[in-house]
């Protein structure tokens, strides 16, 4: 049974691992921004870049699913 779903399990674990990685990166960035005296505009830029990176990853996943399903 495990061999039948190996590819799906692999995709789920990979996506879950990358989500945890993005979360840890966000926590590290938040800690660095709080400890240093970064102006508000700089914090907005940093969070925008992080969000766009996450958004790009999510968009890639959605496009890949749509492409493979033939929609």
Decide which of 61 and 46 is more confident: 46
**Arithmetic mean of pLDDT, 61-65:** 87
> In the Cβ-directed half-sphere of 20, how many Cα atoms lie within 13 Å?
6
pLDDT at 50: 85
CA distance 52 to 26: 12
What pLDDT is attached to residue 1?
A: 67
- Give the pLDDT of residue 69: 85
Residue bearing the bigger pLDDT, 1 or 49: 49
Please tell me whether the overall predicted TM-score, pTM, comes out greater than 0.75 for this model: no
């Amino acid at each position: 049974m495990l061999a039948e779903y190996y590819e799906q399990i692999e995709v789920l674990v990979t996506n879950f691992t990358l989500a945890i990685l993005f979360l840890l990166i966000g926590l590290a960035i938040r800690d660095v921004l709080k400890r240093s005296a970064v102006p508000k505009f700089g914090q907005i830029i940093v969070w925008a870049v992080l969000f766009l990176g996450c958004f790009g990853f999510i968009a890639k996943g959605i496009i890949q699913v749509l492409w493979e399903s033939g929609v």
